[in-house]
Copies of this chain bind each other. A is one copy, B any other.
Amino acid sequence: MRDPDKPQQIIDAAVRVFARTGYYNSRVSDIAREAGIASGTIYLYFRTKDDILVTLFRHKMAEWVASVRKEVAGEPEPIAKIRKIVRLHFKVIEENPELGEVVQVELRQGQKFFRGASAREVSAYFDVIQAVLEEGIAAGRIRRDLHVKIATKMLFGAMDQLATSWVLGKRAYRLTDAADAVATIFLKGVSSDGV
């Protein structure tokens, strides 16, 4: 198992193929053709077809979470952090619509049928959001009585739905243009009354 680029090439090919036809309607040989290799070669790097999807999720989500974490770390202000998260979420989707299609569409299948293999990475994303909200509470910018877990899921769900609509729709507008509106509504919803 020498070539260290192959797994990444295969995953990138899989993203494109899955985006096009979905996991269950894609054949391993489609991924191989897209990657420019023989289908047998895939099995030198992945155990099964499922394994490709699971690894894909893990890698992409890990990358994503890492970049969100980094972005957030560079910003001291909790309110601004939320705005950054929304903007980055939409930017990632906008720049990688194929990845978006796969993640948006297949993730729920994945959560259910692939043993929560990507659970760690997904919940890491939730953790980032939740941590920022808690920071905001500590800073007095966010309501003390906020049910943080609920608010976390709401923000994620809101972003996810905007992204899904855009990805599966006509993409006639720039998704990132919606970022501020989304952040504003959410922040208004969770902020301390006096702010």
A161 at the interface (CB under 8 A from B): yes
Instruction: List which A153-182 residues lie within 8 A (CB) of chain B.
Output: 153-162, 164-165, 168, 178, 181-182
In the complex, what's the smallest C-beta–C-beta distance from A165 to chain B, in angstroms?
A: 6
| B157–A161 touching, CB < 8 Å | yes
Give the docked Cα–Cα distance between A106 and B108 (Å): 8
The chain B residue sitting closest to A163, CB to CB, is B157
Given A24-B24, A157-B157, CB of A168 within 8 Å of CB of B112: yes
Give the docked Cα–Cα distance between A101 and B105 (Å): 14
A147 at the interface (CB under 8 A from B): yes
A106 contacts which chain B residues (CB < 8 A)?
109
| B181–A185 touching, CB < 8 Å | no
The chain B residue sitting closest to A169, CB to CB, is B111
Contact of A189 (CB < 8 Å), options: B147, B150, B165, B185: B185
Give the docked Cα–Cα distance between A172 and B176 (Å): 36
| B151–A162 touching, CB < 8 Å | no
The chain B residue sitting closest to A101, CB to CB, is B112
Give the docked Cα–Cα distance between A123 and B163 (Å): 16
A22 contacts which chain B residues (CB < 8 A)?
109, 112-113
A53 at the interface (CB under 8 A from B): no
| B153–A161 touching, CB < 8 Å | yes
A72 contacts which chain B residues (CB < 8 A)?
none
The 9 closest A-B pairs by CB, nearest first: A157-B161, A189-B189, A154-B158, A157-B157, A185-B189, A24-B24, A157-B158, A188-B189, A105-B108
